[in-house]
Structure 1
Amino acid sequence: MGHTKFKLTGTCIAASTLVFSLHAYGQTTGTATPPGGGQRGEKTFSAEGTLTPTTVQSGIFIETPQTLTTPTTTGSRLGLTALETPASVEVLEGETIRQRGDQSITDAASRATGISQTSSASGNVFVSRGFAGNTSVMRLYDGTRQYVAGGTVTFPFDAWLADRVEILRGPASILFGEGAIGGAINTIPRKPTRDPISNEVRFAYGSQNTRRTAFGSGGAIDDRWSYRVDLSDNRSDGYVDRGQSRSLVAAGAIRFDATPNLKFTLSHDYGTQEPMAYFGIPLINGQISPSLKTANFNVADTYLRFKDQWTRFDTEWAASSTVTFRNSVYRIFSDRHWQDAEGYAYSPATRLITRSSFLGIDYTLDHVGNRFDATIKQPIASLANTLTVGFDVNRLKYARTRNDAGVAGAGVLTINPFNFVPGNFPTNVTIGELFTSQTSTRSFFAEDQLKLTSQLSLVGGLRFDRISYAKQDSRGIAADFSKQFNSTTGRLGVVYAVTPATSVYAQRSTAVDPLGGVVNTTLQQSQLDLTTGEQTEIGWKQLFDDGKGEFTLAAYTIKKKKLLIPDATNPLLSQQVGAQSSRGLEASLSYSPTSKIRFDINGAVLDARYDDFNETIGGVVFSRNGLTPPGVPEKMANAWVTWAFQPKWEAGFGMRYVGPRQINNANTGQAPSFTVADGSLRWAVKPGTTLALHFYNLFDRTYAQTLYSGNNQFILGRPRSVELSAQLRF
């Protein structure tokens, strides 16, 4: 068959030009240069029958939309574009994230299709496709996962570092191992490129005495060496009493191109946080009391301090036009400290609040590993085929120190919410080392794309994980033990390219979730099985109107078995019971009808339910069959419109809707739905200098961002706020 070319041209916001070059058959090449750098800035992609990535030529303002034609590393290791991947993959460009005013990865990801956050001061947590928590929605940094320790993941947190955020909805275990039934959120940092050296500085000031300072620099030093450096410092007085917070991130990477085909990159990222020590307010008569909107019931001497360090050495060798090797040696070190009171319950009889959950926690996590893979492009019986095989070996040491669970009689346990005196952390709470543990994982994975015809592809993957776990009780109370967990997961999908700009797909995948976090496994949990899940998904992805628009639609059903929940009578024990499922529809639309306006809209509806779930409370068994898991919204939607209304001016307006969430397994109450509106106004003062005004929660909506501590306690979202920033590029 002859070579046929399809060319779609479109425009991006405010004089940015978006050019697609699509080839129906034969070899294709293309380059993508995203603003702010990143590996994709100079990578050439070549694949039989694939679509080239988007090329963005920046004007006064840079507005880079997500694109179905950009290869991702989160949906597949084969270098496939979203159009070629039989899964729901979404890309949020870092520049777009920052232009919208999203300062954190959490805020940015919660604008993605079907993703909501349920975070607290102790870490970032997401909900996807009906499943919540860091053991069901995995967090990754540059493709490397961090094991969940203490139920929290605290890095990455600052959007300044991001070249892009890639989101895979649905099981991701074949790529990253256990802990991803609901999906995976992968932050790709800005990296060295061969572009000329460029620098950028940002200063911002806003409501709650918020101050932000950031610096970035990167480019080619000579014909072999290139670098990238990013710094970001954020401080605020917070929107509640005693709500001060601060954070600092520093990231650096240097790359050496030994030959055009052999590259070495050494990078180190450091992040430290002292987040706002706020865990919400209790409901009064089932409602949020307006008089408590700024209340903070934590102790006066509370502190939360998190430090994370990531060091990586990456090697990439294109041994030939058909064989590429990649290797990553990495070390992740985390050091986290808490001292606070996190639980508050209101008593109508006494009109007082009982303060509990006094936590004194220190822990360190030291994680080293090596990941290797090889990609081979070799026809099979004249059919184009791409195969990736690899392994990941890692070892993690974890030490946890905290107080005993019971604190009855310690300190001031009852407080008057309307005449509040914070008090201090109880002096009679004993804090000591609880346990140490070692977790070793050996994984083998393989993924393959076989092109049965020029339009029909078969994409499959398989992964085997062997996890060896050993735990030593430091108090001499519980018995030491060891356990080995084995799991095999897979995905099989088919993709049909109806046209070069339209594809439909179907897939079946499996996944496993850990028992509340592998590194925290208890003796009782070690006797149980891993939680398993299965998903069936079909979807449609479409470029339209000469490349000015993109549309996606997906339908899925997921079933998770062998659920693990805390025993209602003894939180130190767990119950592994029954099954939970969800089914839903997700859709997204990005469209630039003219060069001056762009719409980004997405929405999700789902039915999440317990299928076979009996909960024991006080020795009595209650059936929860047919009820909705707590904290899971079944309707979500996001919209953002950008309008370049004058040659040097750009306005943005967005809305985020999260539907009602159940507050407990019995579904006896709900957190109300909420809609939050944000906006931005940007002015290009001169080339390289931009002033921006960002508005948050424009209509000052009081809403529960997170359901916390038994879900009768709400962490409220940020009230109406404004920030003014200046950014210089030189």
Structure 2
Amino acid sequence: MSSIRIVRPRRFLLASAALTSLAAADMPAALAQQAGQSLPPVEVSPPQSRKQAKPPARDAASGRRATARRPVAVAAVAKPVAPNAAVPTPLNSNAVAESASRLGLTVRQTPATVEVISAETMREQGYRTVSDVAQGAVGVTAGDNPAEPSAFSMRGFTNSQINTLYNGIKIGPQNMTSRIMDTANLEAVEILKGPASLISGEGAAGGAINFVTKQPHTGPIRNEADFSYDSLNSFRAHYGSGGSTNVQGLDYRFDVSRSSLNGFADDTNTKTFDVSGQLNYRISDSLKVWGAIEYREDRGKAYWGAPLVPVAFSSSHATAGIVSGTYVSNSNGTNLGPVTIDDRTLNTNYNVLDNRNVAQEVWLRGGFELKLAPDLTLKSQAYAYGAERSWFNNEVEAFNATTNTVDRSRFYVAHSQRLVGNITDLTWDSNIAGLDNRLVTTLSSSYLDFVRPGAANFPGDSVDLVDPDRGFYGLLTTKEQTARIDNEALSFEDRLKLTRTFALIGGLRVEHIGLDRNSTDVVGLENAGFPFPKSWAPVTGRIGYTWEAVPGLTFFSQYATGADISANNIFLLGPTQPLDLTTARTYETGVKHVLWDNRAEWSFSAYDIVRKNVYAAAGGQTLNIAGRQDSKGVELAGSIRPIEPLRLWGNIAYVDARYADYDFVGGSFSGNTPPNVPRIVANAGASWRFLTPWPVEIGITGRHVGDRTNSDANTVTMNAYTVGDLYAFVDIPKAVFNAVDQARLTFRVRNFTDKHYAIWGDPFYPDQVLLGAPRTYEISAAFKW
């Protein structure tokens, strides 16, 4: 890391926006020039590979079923397309992940571990929320803890150590901005492993997860509708439409979805509503403009988990296999001794009756893509985002070993967030000494304004363990905190092909981060130490290679660095605590192999990550300085179709994540494992398709997650668990519904063994753990026409 002098934030933002405006203002001149001679069409595909993959020798219907992770439909996605992208591969390595590289590379051409999970895979595997999607990926776990919904863990890192992106844009720290999101409006979910500051900016120590909304395609209008209902009385509905309009060059996409997902705990649910739309207008072969808008909201009555209870107290009601270990309450200080989850609390909701979790979000995005010359392309987009969020709950559920009751504590917080920004890319394809080269220069800037009213008092009470009187929130007194973050970055990414099979890929990012915080008391007076500003100028990057040793077999390695603002919550870090950047670096190597006429594919990677100046949750909304975190591991994934009706797939990840130099007054956590990090995560699935007049497919999927801890102290273990799902679907021929091209009915059993397990633990609330959902049954229908 080094410091570099950068222009002031607002000037930089204005300059970036002015570049977009200038290019837009110059469009008429560009068009006038085209009147005499049109420029060639925009082509942003990666360089041609040495050998074109041979298409599968199967009919169209069976070819559509050839993959375990089906790639995004290329014709329907307005993004760079690789030459072989139309050929499906079992692990989707022909898909282009823009969150992993701005060079337009496919997954197989990128010197990093990347997964792209398509909309078709989400539908087939029954992924209803983005947390479901993440849990099907290699080595990723997720938990919808209501304080930090859609929280993820991978490669030993969790929460805001993983960047959450929306169409490639970061909106703020994950643990403050993410929400439960339905998958209906998504085209794909991209998962990039390891430090990723080069592409997505500060915050990406463990990687980045990018949610890509459905986009327009050129061609006939296609419509789709989906419906589902389950045994918890949950329902989902979605309608989408897209294609070319009667206006030459104008394509559209529109989606609307609604869901009501009921929880297994008493009086819990999450309701979502999402409307998204985008217009692409191809003015000429060299110029495209576009605009997009999205409104999203979720409203829920939250489940905050089951309290840890002494085994001695629960006696015959103590459960086995959910948690183990001993615990001294972080909340009330009583010694619980060996702990368990009482089987009388598996469905108990300890939240107050008037609880609520609410969020409303609005996105505005727009930009252009202009071919300045045959080898020079300019792309730019401006965006604006606004969100209102609020939490009004009882959040602490701590068993008191002295009174044998559950001590509760209320919490309230709200967000009013505004974000504006611009990202501009200039892509130059050139030839250096006879070698193909592509360089992308990116200029980006954003301005984030965060206002956070929060509770100044925390009403509390005690209730019975088995039959709690839930009551109401009570008196609320508030105070306010604010934070403003300026972010400006200049980055370069380059790919040089030294031979037809060997390429060097690297990049450098110079970034300015400015943080300005304030905090007031209940009467509006500034607290001691506030306001305070702080700024950083990290330099991060990546250098790596890819080598296609034989057609389809690609080796890769990389060294990458990342940086993020200290602490996993910008409002918890005190003005007297050190305000240094947290930095990370990774070494990674691996192989990606597609073979057997694209009927089989596997990948392997090994990595070593070090993150320094780590801040960790200490419980009770406080932070400890953890010094350093080391994470080493391997990941293996594969998929194969040995015969036409049978498909097999699986993945496994092993990680050894440890704290180092984690010393504090009263003890040390050096050598301990971070919370919610299992050593082993494995997924597997198999399906068989009966090629009858009404094609039927049956399948089974399984997931194993190893032991995890719920706090840095590592005294309580959330025990390993294995769960499985069953599904069967039938494709109804078009002759049955003449107006519908494709119709599918699906029946699914989730957690068919009805396993009781702990899925997540919040280290800020270590007195309780979140339990996984029991067995549920679901029926769904999907139509395309």
Would you call these one fold, judging by a TM-score over 0.5? yes
- The 1:52–1:340 alpha-carbon spacing in structure 2 relative to 1, beyond 3 Å, is same
Structure 1 residues 513 and 297, CA gap change in structure 2 (3 angstroms): same
Distance 1:36 1:299, change over 3 A: farther
- Please list, as runs of the form range in 1=range in 2, the aligned pairs for 1:387-426 lying within 5 A after superposition: 387-404=439-456, 406-407=457-458, 410-411=459-460, 413-426=461-474
More strand, by proportion? 1
- The answer to whether the aligner puts 1:313 opposite 2:366 as a matched pair is yes
**Aligned ranges 1:698-713 → 2 under 5 Å:** 698-708=752-762, 709-713=764-768
Of residues 32, 51, 54, the one that matches 2:86 is 54
Equivalent residues of 2:144, 2:150 under 8 A apart: yes
Report Cα offsets for 1:468-507 as digits up to 9, x if no partner.
2222334322321211121111111021110120111111
Alignment pair present for 1:226 and 2:235: no
Matches within 5 A, 1:5-20: 5-10=51-56, 15-17=61-63
- What is the aligned partner in structure 2 of residue 106 from structure 1? 131
Q: 1:206 aligns with which of 219, 223, 230?
A: 230
Whether 2:402 is the aligned partner of 1:352: answer no
**Aligned-pair distance for 1:518?**
7.0
In structure 1, list runs of 5 or more residues that go unmatched: 21-31, 46-50, 57-63
Q: Determine whether 1:515 maps to 2:561.
A: no
1:244 is displaced (CA, Å) by 2.9
RMSD: 2.3
Offset from partner CA, 1:499-549 (integer Å, 9 cap, x none): 120111111111112223575374526742111111100101101111111
Taking the aligned partners of 1:33 and 1:537, their CA distance within structure 2 comes to 26
Would you say the 8 A contact 2:618–2:712 is kept in 1?
A: no
The aligned residue for residue 26 of structure 1 is none
Aligned ranges 1:183-262 → 2 under 5 Å: 183-222=207-246, 223-262=248-287
CA displacement at 1:236 relative to structure 2: 3.6
**Code of the aligned partner of 1:677:** G
Report the residue type matching 1:439 in the other structure.
Answer: I
Q: Secondary structure at the match of 1:147?
A: coil
The SS at the match of 1:97 is helix
Higher mean alpha-carbon deviation, 178-187 vs 663-672, is at 663-672
Runs of 4+ in 1 over 6 A off after TM superposition: 11-14
1:714 corresponding residue in structure 2: 769
Return the alpha-carbon distance in structure 2 between the equivalents of residues 154 and 558 of structure 1: 25
> Which deviations, in whole Å up to 9, do the C-alpha atoms of 1:248-268 show, x marking residues without a partner?
111111111111221111111
> Structure 1 residues 270, 156: closer, same or farther in 2, change over 3 A?
farther
Name the counterpart of 2:151: 125
Q: Deviations over 1:142-189 (max 9, x none)?
A: 11111027x333357111111111110111111111111101011111
Residue 76 of structure 2 aligns with which residue?
37
The verdict on how the C-alpha distance between 1:521 and 1:704 changes in structure 2, with shifts beyond 3 A counting, is closer
- Rounded Cα–Cα distance in structure 2 between residues aligned with 1:613 and 1:153: 28
1:662 aligns with 2:709: yes
Q: Distance in 2 between matches of 1:394 and 1:465?
A: 11
Structure 1 residues 502 and 321: alpha-carbon distance in aligned structure 2, compared to 1, 3 A threshold: farther
Partner of 1:626: 671
Aligned residues: 689
Specify which of 446, 454, 464 is matched with residue 510 of structure 2.
464
Q: 1:59 corresponds to which residue?
A: none
| SS of residue in 2 equivalent to 1:593 | coil
Name the SS for the 2:54 alignment partner.
strand
1:443 counterpart residue number? 489
Displacement of 1:588 in angstroms is 0.5
In terms of mean alpha carbon deviation, does 597-606 or 524-533 score higher?
A: 524-533
In the TM superposition, what is the alpha-carbon distance from 1:292 to its structure 2 partner?
Answer: 0.8
1:653 to 697, 700, 711: 700
SS in structure 2 of the partner of residue 15 of structure 1: helix
Taking the aligned partners of 1:17 and 1:695, their CA distance within structure 2 comes to 27
- CA 1:430–1:518: 2 relative to 1, 3 Å: closer
CA contact (8 A) 2:637 2:652 kept: yes
Contact 1:663 1:712 in 2 (8 A): no
Q: Report the Cα distance in structure 2 between the residues aligned to 1:171 and 1:13, rounded to whole angstroms.
A: 41
Check the 8 A contact 2:85/2:95 in 1, yes or no: yes
**1:670 Cα deviation after fit:** 0.7
Question: Is the CA contact (8 Å cut-off) linking 1:89 and 1:168 kept in structure 2?
Answer: yes
| 2:711 aligned counterpart, secondary structure | coil
| Structure 2 partner of 1:116 | 141
Q: TM-score, normalised by structure 1?
A: 0.90
Over 3 Å counting, the alpha-carbon distance change for 1:66 and 1:262 in structure 2 is farther
How far apart in 2 are the matches of 1:206 and 1:311? Answer: 34
Contact 1:305/1:338 (CA < 8 Å) preserved in 2? Answer: yes
SS in 2 for 1:10: coil
Preserved contact between residue 323 and residue 375 of structure 1 (Cα < 8 Å): yes
Question: Identity percentage over the alignment?
Answer: 29
Return the alpha-carbon distance in structure 2 between the equivalents of residues 3 and 267 of structure 1. 33
Residue aligning to 1:327: 380
Residues 1:435 and 1:13: Cα distance change in structure 2 (over 3 Å): farther
CA distance in 1, matches of 2:489, 2:719: 43
Tell me if structure 2 keeps the 8 A contact 1:268–1:312.
yes
Q: Distance in 1 between matches of 2:450 and 2:59?
A: 48
CA contact (8 A) 1:586 1:604 kept: yes
Instruction: Indicate if the aligned counterparts of 1:313 and 1:329 stay in contact, CA closer than 8 A.
Output: yes
Cα displacement string for residues 268-306 of structure 1 (whole angstroms, at most 9, x for unaligned residues): 111110134111011112112221110010001101111
* Alpha-carbon offset, residue 4 of structure 1: 6.5
Task: State yes or no: 1:531 paired with 2:544.
Answer: no
Alpha carbons of structure 1 residues 176 and 6: separation in structure 2 relative to 1, 3 Å: closer
Tell me the SS of whatever aligns to 2:202: coil
1:55 CA drift (Å): 3.4
Partner of 1:677: 724
> Quick one: distance in 1 between partners of 2:718 and 2:58?
39
Map of 1:689 onto structure 2: 743
Q: Is the 8 A contact 1:316 1:326 kept in 2?
A: yes
Unaligned runs of 5+ in 2: 1-47, 311-338, 735-741
> Which residue in the other structure is 1:551 paired with?
602
Aligned residue type for 2:542:
R
Describe the SS at the equivalent of 2:132: helix
Question: Quick one: structure 1 residues 35 and 16, their matched pair in 2 at CA, closer, same or farther if it must change by over 3 Å?
Answer: farther
